[in-house]
Amino acid sequence: MISVKNLSKTFRDKLPEFTVLRDVNCEISKGEVISIIGPSGTGKSTFLRCINRLETPTSGQIFIDGEDILSPKADLPRLRRKMGMVFQSFNLFNHLSIMQNLCVGPVKLLGMNRTDAEQQGLRLLQMVGLANKADSMPDVLSGGQKQRVAIARCLAMKPEIILFDEPTSALDPTMVHEVLTVMKRLADDGMTMAIVTHEMDFARQVSSRVFFMYDGIVYEDNTPDVIFEHPTRPATQRFINRLRNLDFNIESKDYDFLSMEGQIRAFLANYQVGMPRIIQTLRLVQLLTDRLLPFTGPVDLTIDYSERNKNIYMQVVQHNYSEPILNRDDSANAALAEFHSCCEKITDEQQDDARLLRIKTNVVS
């Protein structure tokens, strides 16, 4: 239904120029529910706004039902009518009653007669649980109610796809659920939807696919299970596991290891990691730096803490070395044995001229 090819968008109105979308490629089929997640500033809103041409892409192609909406010949008003958009900030017409909000589009743009539009409006208000508010003005409604009206108003235009841009981000936490429930109902009814959201549980439940946007592209496009349970690419893993990291570049054995220990301690304590695990992490670092690493060249050390599953990971790159460091059969080496006993998982592999170690530490208490 929607096919996006090599879409790019560079903002040139302000200097310096800023490329938000570098090369976006994706397909959305009829009936799919796509959640779009990713750190802020990665172009999720810009992407939705390009799809319905609120924004003009710099290059690339967007096909809606096979029609290129970027072509000068495209019938934009008709193409836009196929797409509804729900914004973070509702955008209701505040001088019109709820019912008038639901009728103005169908009457003016679709040529529906007033009675039919009102009947439809009432049916839609029932669907979003607000039939008793038909004659109210928007400003007496709560945020969650306004957003449900905005969804009903969108449906009144009989769109083929609805684009949602963080529909619950501006709401009080107590009102998020009522809006998500309405959206879930739409998904169950087979509505095609693309939803930019930070509600991960919701995304996981309703989506057929999830796009993780990062660095101006759809960086990972996968099923919710893969994205949320075992994402395949590094930036997705960092985002999903809410990894906080601390990096060190150790040039030689003369490095200030005492200062490094202090920083690791403070970093983990900051995330309420308990003392036994802090001590274990420091011990692992000490075994590495005192006993196990050959220091044939600089060492890059990263400590990762996952706020999601509370795991502590380490990544070590020993440059100019090509022998196993941890995965060696060296049972006489007490340091190696102690190291292994503190880790749940270790990989030790070659990467160009360096040895790359990835470690998941044991949970101790």
Q: Which residues are near ligand ADP by CB under 6 A?
A: 11, 13-14, 18, 20, 40-46
| 35 binds Mg ion, rule: CB under 5 A | no
Which long-range contacts does 226-229 make (Cβ < 8 Å, 24+ apart)? 227/37, 228/200, 228/203, 228/204
- Nearer of residues 13 and 139 to ligand ADP, judged by Cβ: 13
CA-based nearest residue to 12, from 62, 56, 61: 56
Q: Give CA–CA dist 13/201, Å, rounded.
A: 37
- Nearer of residues 45 and 100 to ligand ADP, judged by Cβ: 45
- Nearer of residues 19 and 61 to ligand ADP, judged by Cβ: 19
- Nearer of residues 45 and 168 to Mg ion, judged by Cβ: 45
- Nearer of residues 21 and 359 to ligand ADP, judged by Cβ: 21
- Nearer of residues 38 and 143 to ligand ADP, judged by Cβ: 38
CB of 7 to ligand ADP, least distance (A): 13
| Angle separating helix axes 98-109 and 114-127, nearest 10 degrees | 130
- Nearer of residues 45 and 120 to ligand ADP, judged by Cβ: 45
Q: Give CA–CA dist 215/115, Å, rounded.
A: 49
Which range, of 39-47, 114-122, 128-136, 199-207, touches Mg ion by CB under 5 A? 39-47
Q: Give CA–CA dist 312/310, Å, rounded.
A: 7
User: From Mg ion, ligand ADP, none, which one binds at residue 306 (CB under 5 to 8 Å depending on kind)?
Assistant: none
Strands (E), 66-191: 67-68, 83-86, 161-165
Which range, of 38-46, 55-63, 76-84, 214-222, touches Mg ion by CB under 5 A? 38-46
CB of 191 to ligand ADP, least distance (A): 22
With contact defined as beta carbons under 8 Å apart, do 122 and 131 qualify?
yes
User: From Mg ion, ligand ADP, none, which one binds at residue 41 (CB under 5 to 8 Å depending on kind)?
Assistant: ligand ADP
- Residue ranges in 42-61 that form contacts with Mg ion under rule CB under 5 A: 45
CB of 194 to ligand ADP, least distance (A): 13
Which long-range contacts does 308-313 make (Cβ < 8 Å, 24+ apart)? 308/240, 308/241, 308/242, 309/241, 310/273, 310/363, 311/241, 311/360, 311/361, 311/363, 312/268, 312/273, 312/277, 312/281, 312/360, 312/361, 313/243, 313/358, 313/359, 313/360, 313/361
Between strands 192-196 and 209-214, the pairing is unpaired
The answer to whether the peptide bond before residue 159 is cis (omega within 30 degrees of 0) is no
- Residue ranges in 136-165 that form contacts with Mg ion under rule CB under 5 A: none
Q: Give CA–CA dist 151/157, Å, rounded.
A: 10
- Phi, psi torsion values for 336, nearest 5 degrees: -65, -40
CB of 349 to ligand ADP, least distance (A): 34
Q: How many residues bind Mg ion (CB under 5 A)?
A: 1
Q: Give CA–CA dist 294/286, Å, rounded.
A: 13
User: From Mg ion, ligand ADP, none, which one binds at residue 257 (CB under 5 to 8 Å depending on kind)?
Assistant: none
- Nearer of residues 90 and 321 to Mg ion, judged by Cβ: 90
CB of 163 to Mg ion, least distance (A): 12
CB of 72 to ligand ADP, least distance (A): 22
CB of 21 to ligand ADP, least distance (A): 8
User: From ligand ADP, Mg ion, none, which one binds at residue 20 (CB under 5 to 8 Å depending on kind)?
Assistant: ligand ADP
Q: Which residues sit at the interface with Mg ion, rule CB under 5 A?
A: 45
